[in-house]
Chains A and B, each alone.
Chain A
Amino acid sequence: MTTATSGIRRNVRFRPGRTVAWIIVAIVVVATVFPFYWMVRTAITPTADLVPQAAQLWPSSPTLINFQRVLGLASIEESVAAGGTGASIDFVRYTLNSVIYAGSIAVIQTLSCAAAAYAFARLRFPGRNLLFGVVLAGLMIPGIFTLLPNFALMRELDLLNTMLGLIAPALLMSPFTIFFLRQFFLSLPRDVEEAATLDGVGSLGRFWRIALPLSRGPIATMMLITLVGMWKDYLWPLVAGNSELTRVLTVALGVFQQQSPNTAPDWTGLMAGATLSVLPVLLILVFLGKQLIQSLNFSGGK
């Protein structure tokens, strides 16, 4: 009876609130999406129409010329005629570089950290707490502090502008991932692992055959979060891998922007480039959106 009463009261009281809530969420969604809409709108606008149609929500004569010239599919003359500098982005190569960079780090780093996290959560060895404390201290060090010596190191090893040098610093270790997965392993019930121990399963076997399969969710979460982070990464790839062969998409976009004249930027070309760089992200959102939301629910709920 109590629940029925409170249910009714809640419904009555929540109605006006819900309308306001919907309106506010709708405003936020529009404000979130509009800049991306405007980016696409600009990318399909002929440069000549840019100023006259600056406030028009849809261009009068949409075109793909900006994408063609950014991708290098149009001749230099065509590009210049369309308002560009003739600069192009080797989009496929840079995207591939980004995929290799972000993908390999996301997978290997998460697995390597999962193993370490299990050791910190479950195994007994001398100096465990001290070591974990030192690893956690790594969380508070801003990236640029280690970036400078790492740059010098890669330079000494002659690994600047190589994929190996680009990937190596983040490949095996992330204090946050260890912290996060350790918390999860600690929350797993011990019974199954204890039973396995009695059956003669060793520590490695318990990690590989019990803990790892049980933590597929959180491990996928960390991989996804790391993937996004590395996909967006800019400073390290800028200083350590800004050559044609190893340039990732973010750096390529930055370089493309700096080639555009400061006084009259090639906005249609720049927006075409930006649109291309957002496309892979849209794919992630369409195919992994649900997983991503669940990941966040998981990490926020912990």
Chain B
Amino acid sequence: MSRSTLERTGTGAPRRAEKPPAARPGVSRLRRAEKWAALVLLLPALLGFVVFYVYPTIRGVYYSMTDFNLLNDPTFIGTANFEDLAGDPQVWDSLRITAVFAVLNIIVMMVLALGLAAFMQRLHLSNWVRSLLLLPWLVPNVAIALIWGWLLDANVGFLTQLLKSIGISGVSFYNGDAALGIIIVISVWSGLGYTALLLYAGMLQVPHDLYEAAALDGAGETRMFFNITLPLIRPVLALVLVVSLIGSFQVFDLVQVGYGNNPIPEVRVIYYYIYQQAFSFYNMGYASAIAILLVVILGALTFVQMRLMRANRSDLS
């Protein structure tokens, strides 16, 4: 009889009830030792969690109800920040821009990445080629913003000229009509290889005989993709979707570096607006209130997404 059996019988029961005096002194001693071990193992991470997650969360909520400019002590003003926020067109405008960015970024990225992963599934790409696909993921967004800013320079940018030569003009980095689309293209470009490789890894888990059986039944490539591959990689698909949704709402570096400290209005995303309120205007209280709005929106979206995807259930197991 192993210890785990003893343990299992004790699960969930109140500690005192399972301790008939002197009957199993060894077990209760082990239990106590285990609790201490858990404390030791958890301590560093919990310290970080309490000091830099829980405490700032409480402070952030408090700040959102204060007038605080870093120099003065926060003064409590109730819900005034949230009332301001509701009537601030810039908040809603930046949320709209961010939402458009997120939706288009995710749709374009997922379609392309799924396609690329499906093609990769058929080829035995060397690690070398796959590493190349990862390159943009490794490069900081700051450098990426610079590189694309140059490729799309209005006068001598290589891409601008290339597009002009095939009759598409007006696509340049600082052109307001094109800017949001450009940010989406850059974002898709930099995340495509990484996302495709993640999905590809998920596809490798799908048992090969399923495809063989389907082929014997005369199913075509497209049907196999939609009826076998797609349903069976749902867990990793859900993970990638949730992560890229949260990530898309946090787009910032590309805008801040690409467009400087006063970005054109078409790309003023919500993260930028919060950053501006906090670090250009020192409205810490107001910035915290907008950040809380963002937390609520992201929480709701993640919840809905997990529900729709039934992410925790895998058809494979």
Residues in chain A within 8 A of chain B (CB atoms): 2-3, 6, 9-10, 13-14, 17-18, 20-22, 24-25, 28-29, 31-33, 35-36, 38-39, 42, 50-51, 54-55, 109, 112-113, 115-116, 118-119, 123-126, 128, 135, 138, 140-146, 148-153, 155, 168-173, 175, 178, 190, 194, 197-198, 202-204, 207, 228, 231-232, 234-235, 239, 249-251, 253-254, 257-258, 262, 265, 267, 270-271, 273-274, 277-278, 281, 284-285, 289-290, 292-293, 296-302
Contacts and interface: CB of A to CB of B under 8 A. Distances in A.
5 contacts: A6-B215, A25-B116, A35-B189, A145-B292, A296-B201
B115 to A, nearest CB: 8
A1 B33 CA distance: 59
A13 B309 CA distance: 33
Contacts, number: 322
A109 B297 CA distance: 28
A249 B294 contact: no
Contacts of B302: 140
B122 A55 contact: no
A175 B45 CA distance: 9
Given A232-B140, A250-B140, A277-B140, A119 B38 contact: yes
B147 A24 contact: no
Contact of B201 (A36, A55, A194, A300): A300
Given A169-B52, A203-B33, A262-B260, 13 more contacts: A116-B41, A119-B42, A142-B298, A143-B250, A148-B288, A173-B48, A194-B3, A207-B37, A234-B252, A253-B142, A285-B134, A296-B198, A300-B201
Given A25-B119, A25-B123, A300-B202, A55 B138 contact: no
Given A145-B292, A298-B201, A150 B4 contact: no
Contacts of A118: 41
Nearest to B253: A234
DSSP majority for the B interface?
Answer: helix
B45 A178 contact: yes
A149 B275 CA distance: 13
B140 A231 contact: yes
- The residue in B45, B56, B212, B257 that gathers the most chain A C-beta atoms within 10 A of its C-beta is B45
Given A113-B45, A146-B60, A234-B253, A285 B299 contact: no
Contacts of A149: 55-57, 59-60, 63, 288
Q: Which 7 A-B pairs have the closest CB atoms?
A: A300-B201, A172-B48, A173-B48, A203-B37, A149-B56, A289-B131, A116-B45
Contacts of B33: 202-203
B226 interface: no
Interface string B149-164: 1110101101001000
- The residue in A35, A152, A178, A190 that gathers the most chain B C-beta atoms within 10 A of its C-beta is A35
B146 A301 contact: no
B88 interface: no
Contacts of B156: 50-51, 54
A253 B146 contact: yes
A29 B4 contact: no
Interface string B19-55: 0000000000001011101111110111111001101
Nearest to B200: A300
Contacts of B140: 231-232, 234, 249-250, 253, 277
A17 B151 contact: no
A253 B140 CA distance: 10
Given A142-B298, A232-B140, A153 B202 contact: no
- The residue in A126, A170, A234, A302 that gathers the most chain B C-beta atoms within 10 A of its C-beta is A234
Nearest to A300: B201
Interface in B252-288: 252-253, 256-257, 260-261, 271, 274-275, 278-279, 284, 287-288
B139 interface: yes
Contacts of B249: 142
Contact of A36 (B11, B63, B147): B147
A6 B139 contact: no
A235 B3 contact: no
A297 B201 contact: yes
A254 B259 CA distance: 11
Contacts of B292: 145
B136 A168 contact: no
Contacts of B122: 14, 17-18, 21
A155 B69 CA distance: 13
Contacts of B107: none
Given A29-B132, A172-B44, A203-B33, A289 B127 contact: yes
B291 interface: yes
B253 A235 contact: yes
Contacts of B57: 141, 145-146, 149
Contacts of A202: 33, 37
Nearest to B299: A140
A150 B56 contact: yes
A9 B290 CA distance: 59
